[in-house]
Amino acid sequence: MSEMQRVAVVMAGGSGERFWPLSRRTRPKQLLKLTSPDDTMLAEAVARMTPLVPIEHIYVITGEHLVEPIRASGLPLPAANILAEPAKRNTAGALAYTAAALLARYGGDGSNISLAVTTADHDIREPDLFRMTVDAAMSSAERDDVLVTLGIVPTRAETGYGYIQIDDETTSRIFNTVSVTPVRAFHEKPSRERAEDFIAQGNYFWNCGMFFWRISTFLGELDHARPALAQAVRDMTSSMRANDHAMVRNIFGTLEDISIDYALMEHARRVSMARAEFPWDDVGAWTALDRSYSKDEHGNVVVGDPVVADSRDCIVYNDAGADAMAVGVVGVKDLVVVVTSDAVLVIPKDRAQDVRHAVQELKKRNGKQL
């Protein structure tokens, strides 16, 4: 245990569609200040991990098109710690590439590397409680040779999240007051009725997409569930050690475009869940600002000093600022209105996920505002 190196990687890919027009292809939501007026979501994600993992051992995995914007954002990371996957291959590809890069840099067979995989697009409050939970998850992964995920204690029957079902909690191990319990099954986004049943049973938790493992354990489980992917990790490691970047790119290009949940977690033999009780929110659409920003007396979220009159329960975001752009919203309710220097979005809150339709149409038109 004394030779174990703790390492963290923040997943920070994305195409910048969900928060258009504020987000763009080279400025996805993790490079926006959506949960704090002072820091980007990516900066917050890195800062949350620094008390547990030294900054020189924190990495970001992203797409090649985002490397320079992330470097320019001012993160206190060494430039070499921003890893660029050669193509878009979902989270399984990103984490395979990460494993290879870390094996190449740290040496060994991976039993010496304890990895925390965290996210750059979630709103996490009570960071001390978050770190205590992560420490427990990493300790379990190190001592018990298991893959560990975080399960958020649900506060509502949410249909937009996947769920983790755990075994009887009498099988739990306790690490610093945090319970870590074997996982029975993963469940995809449920219907409303099924979500309510999950909540009533009490042993179902939201899957927030954070993972913890020794890299050797990760490879061992990949050997069982996706042997070709495991071999690709080893082949990329060898090529990275030989500085053969063309070969790394060729190998990566053969990988399946699949999430780590489908590729590995749902098929792994030894998976546990650390019970997470810190406040958490998936910042997946403009309506998330209702949960992370303060509101005026009429329930409106107002940013950038727009004029909002006789309106209720709206989100009005003037990115350009009042001096550059006057924005007026009068006599409406339940709308999202976003204004930048070159684009305007107006959409009902209950259709906030449909921003992608506007983005898709702009792509067809070869629009410059993407």
Are 304 and 187 in the same domain?
Answer: no
Q: What is the pLDDT of residue 2?
A: 47
Token readout for 109 is 């067979």
CB-based contact 339:347 (threshold 8 Å)? no
What is the tens place of the pLDDT at every residue in 20-63? 999 998 899 999 988 887 899 999 999 999 999 999 999 999 99
- For residues 74 and 221, membership in a common domain is answered with yes
**Does residue 181 lie in a domain region?**
yes
Note whether 203 and 310 are same-domain residues.
no
Strands 271-276 and 178-187: antiparallel
User: What number is the average pLDDT over the span 73-86?
Assistant: 95
The 10s digit of each residue's pLDDT in 253-276 is 999 999 999 999 999 999 999 999
Per-residue tokens: 221: 């489980």
Q: 221-237 in b/e burial notation, b at 16+ Cβ within 10 A?
A: bbeebbeebbebbbbbb
**Pair 130, 48: CB distance under 8 Å:** yes
pTM over 0.95: no
Q: What is the pLDDT of residues 144-156, one digit of tens each?
A: 999 999 999 999 9
Picking from 278, 284, 292, 290, the residue whose alpha carbon sits closest to that of residue 153 is 278
Residues 47 and 184 in one domain: yes
Q: Who has greater pLDDT, 171 or 46?
A: 46
User: Is the domain of 260 the same as that of 163?
Assistant: yes
- Do 272 and 308 fall into the same domain? no
**Residue 68 falls inside a structural domain:** yes
Domain count, the chain: 2
Q: Do 145 and 175 lie in a common domain?
A: yes
**CATH code of the domain in which 144 resides:** 3.90.550.10
Q: Are residues 316 and 245 in the same domain?
A: no
Domain contains 336: yes
Based on the fold, state whether residues 128 and 203 are members of the same structural domain: yes
* Domain boundary residue, one of 282, 311, 340: 282
Domain boundary among 282, 306, 338: 282
What's the domain range around 73?
Answer: 5-282
**Sheet of strand 344-348: strand arrangement:** 301-303, 315-318, 335-339, 344-348
Q: What average pLDDT does range 179-192 have in this prediction?
A: 95
User: Which residue matches tokens 């430039």?
Assistant: 79
Q: Could you tell me if 158 and 276 lie in one domain? A: yes
Residue 203 falls inside a structural domain: yes
Task: Evaluate whether residue 369 is within a structural domain.
Answer: no
Q: Which of 180, 50, 67, 63 has its CA nearest to residue 118?
A: 50
Q: Do 220 and 346 belong to one domain?
A: no
In a domain, 370, yes or no: no
Residues 312, 326: Cα–Cα separation, whole Å: 19
Q: Is 136 domain-assigned?
A: yes
161 in any annotated domain: yes
Q: How far is 157 from 170, CA to CA, in rounded Å? A: 25
Residue ending a domain, choose from 232, 267, 282: 282
Are 266 and 293 found together in one domain? no
